[in-house]
Amino acid sequence: AKESGRNNYKFYNTTMEKNTYAKLSLERDLRHAIERDELLLYYQPQIELDSGCILGVETLARWKHPKHGFIPPSEFIPIAEYSRLIVPIGKWILYTACKQNKAWQDAGLPKVHVAVNLSLHQFQNSEIIQTVAQILEETGLEPQYLELEITESIAMQDVEKVILTLQGLYALGVKISIDDFGTGYSSLNYLKNFPIQRLKIDKSFLDDIVRSEKERAIVGAIIVMAHSLNLRVTAEGVESMEQVALLQDCNCDEIQGYIYSRPIPSSECAELLAERRVF
């Protein structure tokens, strides 16, 4: 037992070292990812159920690592967060997304909003309001065509400071939505006090709505509550027509998911916008 205990320890230790090493080397590579042109943005359409039209697109970052290939955001965003690289990277993402949306509009494509995920450290950076204002000015994108997605983890920070930042962003004319709604510890009271326009219901609540009456009840209740607070609701990660039908029954406003499109490169997204295809 002692022997195996030692072996376990040894194994655990090497794995840990490997992980730490991998993380450090990824962090080092991430430092140069922007200048080396390795970061790119994909876009996923958000469809209004009533009209079937694309109303917005969410920006999803991709890292094309020269050695390891595509590294998913679930891996590199946390590295960017703890190394604080998220501030310059996030700024690049915001700028690139706004510039892209303006280019689509200038090309005569239907006007949609571009949604950009804001991480905690980005949001807490004292310059965030100024950064957003400057990017809107530089790109010429009208503020109502930018939407910022924040998570409930942000809502759980120092509430007064959060409200001040949100009010500053809101004053610029950009839209704000709560992402992954229902997965964190949101207080419904905060929702009432935040200048937000949208809730995005997390995929985990939608996975089972076809089979489970309980899940349907939860989703239905979230939507009723959101509407009574004048918030729009987007369902995330929608994959089947059965889910779409149920979400229509619940009066959900918009859907986003593989049922319509996966996240796609900007050129493909432009084609989708140009098609003006109704879902």
| Distance in angstroms (rounded) separating the CA atoms of residues 56 and 254 | 10
* Residues of span 51-70 touching ligand C2E by CB under 6 A: 59-61
254 contact, one of ligand C2E, Ca ion, none, CB 5-8 Å limit per kind: none
152 contact, one of ligand C2E, Ca ion, none, CB 5-8 Å limit per kind: none
Burial of 114 (0-12, 13-18, 19+ CB in 10 A): buried
Cβ neighbours, 10 Å, residue 64: 14
**What spatial distance separates the first Cα and last Cα of the chain, rounded to whole Å?**
62
Q: Which of 119, 125, 165, 243 binds ligand C2E (CB under 6 A)?
A: 119
* Residues of span 195-214 touching ligand C2E by CB under 6 A: none
| Distance in angstroms (rounded) separating the CA atoms of residues 252 and 238 | 12
258 binds ligand C2E (CB under 6 A): yes
Q: 111 and 145 in contact (C-beta within 8 Å)?
A: yes
* Residues of span 100-159 touching Ca ion by CB under 5 A: 117, 149
Report how far apart, in Å, the C-alpha atoms of 26 and of each of 69, 76, 225, 250 are.
Answer: 12, 8, 42, 44
254 binds Ca ion (CB under 5 A): no
Closest distance between ligand C2E and the C-beta of residue 44, in Å?
A: 6
Phi then psi for residue 160, to 5 deg, are -65, -40
CA dihedral 19, 21, 24, 29 (to 10 degrees): -100
Closest distance between ligand C2E and the C-beta of residue 161, in Å?
A: 19
Minimum CB distance to ligand C2E smaller for 79 or for 231: 79
117 binds ligand C2E (CB under 6 A): yes
Q: Which of 29, 152, 179, 254 binds Ca ion (CB under 5 A)?
A: 179
Q: Which of 74, 189, 228, 267 binds ligand C2E (CB under 6 A)?
A: 74
Q: Which of 45, 56, 143, 237 binds ligand C2E (CB under 6 A)?
A: 237
Residues of this chain that interact with Ca ion (CB under 5 A) are: 50, 117, 149, 179-180, 236, 251
